[in-house]
Amino acid sequence: MNKPKIQILEAEPSPVDNPAAAGYKVFNRIIDWITNDRLQLLNITDRINEIVRKSGVRDGLVHLQSLHTTSSVFINEWQEALLHDVKSFFEQVVLREQYYRHNDPQYSDCERKNADSHMRGMLMGQTLCLQVRNASVLLGTWQSIIFAEFDGPRSRSLAVQVSGV
């Protein structure tokens, strides 16, 4: 392997001081919605930024946690063509139509036949933690926060916690 030549371009050289350090706070919310399709992607970036702004936290973390196993939260570019590919990828990497014990009445009392939804949720994760800087969610130019429904249509809840100063 060729040794990576890391060229360090140091940015933001001075630390962000927090004179109001005693002002540490935790701001909790739960947001809900109803999904339309079995496999659906929602752009929740604006909703999260709205909560961060309301929280009064300037520097810290925003933590997102879907309260369901068959869903996920992650980052990607929000472009229609790419979202189509993302859905195809989930269908390829976790097959729906193969044998699963979770879908077999002999082994399981789950009537949703949603083993594939469980695998997709597990693979992509139910949580996402992002930095809060200058009172808004830190995101790169092309980064959007995406909620993935893997077993809709259903009612879904996302717990949002903003903490910091």
Specify the residue for token string 């139910």: 126
Angstrom CA distances, 123 to 99, 162, 164, stand at 18, 25, 29
- Specify the residue, 10 or 97, whose C-beta has the smaller distance to its own copies: 10
End-to-end CA distance of the chain: 43
- Tokens standing for residue 100: 């699963």
Applying CB under 8 A, among 48, 52, 150, 164 the residue interacting with its own copies is 164
Binding of residue 97 to its own copies (CB under 8 A): no
Binding to its own copies, residues 51-90 (CB under 8 A): 54-55, 59-61, 63, 65-69, 74-77, 79-86, 89
Binding to its own copies, residues 34-53 (CB under 8 A): 34-37, 40-43, 47
Binding of residue 27 to its own copies (CB under 8 A): yes
Binding of residue 91 to its own copies (CB under 8 A): no
**Beta pairing class for 40-43 and 127-133:** unpaired
The residue type found at 5 is: K
Binding to its own copies, residues 126-155 (CB under 8 A): 126-131, 133, 138-143, 155
- Tokens standing for residue 28: 């909790």
Binding of residue 10 to its own copies (CB under 8 A): yes
- For the CB of residue 13, give the shortest distance to its own copies in the complex, in Å: 8
- Specify the residue, 4 or 97, whose C-beta has the smaller distance to its own copies: 4
- For the CB of residue 25, give the shortest distance to its own copies in the complex, in Å: 5
Specify the residue for token string 């729906």: 96
Applying CB under 8 A, among 122, 135, 136, 154 the residue interacting with its own copies is 122
Neighbours of 81 (CB within 10 A): 8
Whether 142 and 77 have beta carbons less than 8 Å apart is answered as yes
Whether 160 and 46 have beta carbons less than 8 Å apart is answered as no
- For the CB of residue 49, give the shortest distance to its own copies in the complex, in Å: 14
